[in-house]
Amino acid sequence: MPERRTVALVTLGCARNEVDSEELAGRLEADGWQLVEDAEDADVAVVNTCGFVEAAKKDSVDALLEANDLKGHGKTQAVVAVGCMAERYGKELAEALPEADGVLGFDDYADISGRLQTILSGGSVEAHTPRDRRKLLPISPAERQLAKADVALPGHADAAAPADLPEGVAPASGPRAPLRRRLGTNPVASVKLASGCDRRCSFCAIPSFRGSFISRRPSDVLGETRWLAEQGVKEVMLVSENNTSYGKDLGDIRLLETLLPELAAVDGIERVRVSYLQPAEMRPGLIDVLTSTEKIAPYFDLSFQHSAPGVLRAMRRFGDTDRFLELLDTIRSKAPQAGVRSNFIVGFPGETEADVAELERFLTGARLDAIGVFGYSDEEGTEAATYDAKLDQDVVDARLAHISRLAEELTSQRADERVGETVEVLVESLDEEEGPLGRAAHQAPETDGQIRLTGTAGGDALQVGRMVVAKVVGTEGVDLVAECLEEARR
């Protein structure tokens, strides 16, 4: 029997990319490829790139160049770019980065195995030609489900799954669903709720290369969650470009409110988390479900971006400081310990000192658990890139530094407020120096800090994948220290 060809997947960017990488892994292993962890041990290194902002694009290029350096010094024969940056730039990226042996777009995912085989055999695969993916589906959301069969949508069903699948590879949600192969053993996994976005924020290029918003069927999401639970997953995080729009193309904008309790009831799942919520689309019923349903984390990843009305309107967004604070008051009146995080852009074209002061007023009153701050930069193809009144780079940098310092101070204060709280912590790792590490309901993976656990809870409660009850006794910046009291009982 010939030796199986090996492939390594290097993933950059957001949790949505991680799900896409696991779909590619499932497709490849089902077609006979052997997955390896390190690029240096693989015949071909597939880099799942991010194309969101300049820093992310630079990281993607660096990863491609790093993988290319392995060629000629070990097993690696080829380096292939996939993901958002490859989809967004295609042939332009291929010309600018000849070190990549292939630049493949979303349309290539269905035959990713064939594409890689061709490249390894010395053949060439034409670089992806970018196109505005917003134009591939009907404008009317109600018509998209019927039309999606002709459009490549990572994370959505597109063909019948093979009858015989390798162990650990399964249709994530039924007989006509994307294959999925977990690339790690962490007890937390993301589940794609939808893809694309219908919003037209003036600073964002994502809809142009991710396409229009389209929901996955509830049965698909449930099926994938059940499969993940069978793989040992304890927490699922629902991801998409805009989770608050879920169901609008299925005829029910409140579909998320009915789906969440069903996900929470999946045997083996201890926590369900919803990411990326639009403040302007928050509904009283959704807030109620997120704050009162057992196993649903009272966690609000709200995309505020700014709070000064003039800046928000220029961003083609809605709201203001007082309305945002009122939303947070409503959430905390129902769940005082609810976690809230958000990202903000400073230095947007036309932003004034008064606008910065208004943002400071919001941040000071919001009591956010985690804050991401970014300095504005033009993204080609966006409306904001055409705006006048651009600020000098030194002004943008100064405002970024100022708001970042304020954010660090405020999130540390918010962590201090949590001392004395009793929290449920999912144990995620056992560090040799720090001991058991995990996260509470108000902390999402990788972005919101973690909890270092002390004490014992009897038996093997402090093992990876266990949910324990702990009391917060100290802080380390945004991270918390908590004394373990007992294993959580359901």
- The reported pLDDT for the residue numbered 76 is 87
484 is in an annotated binding site: no
> How far is Cα 320 from Cα 362, in angstroms, rounded to an integer?
9
Q: In CATH terms, is domain 6-129 a member of 3.40.50.12160?
A: yes
Question: Do 225 and 237 meet the contact criterion of CB atoms below 8 Å apart?
Answer: no
CA torsion 162→167→169→174, rounded to 10°?
60
Contact partners, residue 397, CB within 8 Å, separation at least 6: 347, 375
Contact partners, residue 352, CB within 8 Å, separation at least 6: 310
Question: Rounded to 5 degrees, what angle do the CA atoms 230, 215, 195 make?
Answer: 90
50 is in an annotated binding site: yes
Q: Which run of H or of E encompasses 225?
A: helix 218-230
110 has a pLDDT exceeding 80: yes
Same fold, 6-129 and 142-156+172-417: no
- Percent of the chain at pLDDT > 90 equals 67
- The reported pLDDT for the residue numbered 55 is 76
Q: Is 490 exposed, middle or buried (0-12, 13-18, 19+ CB in 10 A)?
A: exposed
175 has a pLDDT exceeding 50: no
Homologous superfamily of domain range 142-156+172-417: tm_1862 like domain (3.80.30.20)
Least confident of 1-10, 160-169, 364-373: 160-169
Homologous superfamily of domain range 421-484: Nucleic acid-binding proteins (2.40.50.140)
For residue 331, the SS3 value is helix
Q: Which whole-number Å values give the CA distances from 311 to 52, 245, 260, 361, 375, in the listed order?
A: 21, 23, 34, 15, 14
For residue 44, the SS3 value is strand
- The reported pLDDT for the residue numbered 303 is 95
The predicted-structure confidence for 237-256, as pLDDT tens digits, reads as follows 999 999 999 999 999 999 99
The predicted-structure confidence for 303-327, as pLDDT tens digits, reads as follows 999 999 999 999 999 999 999 999 9
Q: How confident is the model at residue 171 (pLDDT cuts 50, 70, 90)?
A: low
- The reported pLDDT for the residue numbered 350 is 97
204 is in an annotated binding site: yes
- The reported pLDDT for the residue numbered 1 is 42
Average pLDDT, whole number, for the chain? 90
Work out the average pLDDT over 164-184. Answer: 69
The amino acid at residue 370 is A
Domain boundary assignment for the chain = 6-129, 142-156+172-417, 421-484
- The reported pLDDT for the residue numbered 384 is 96
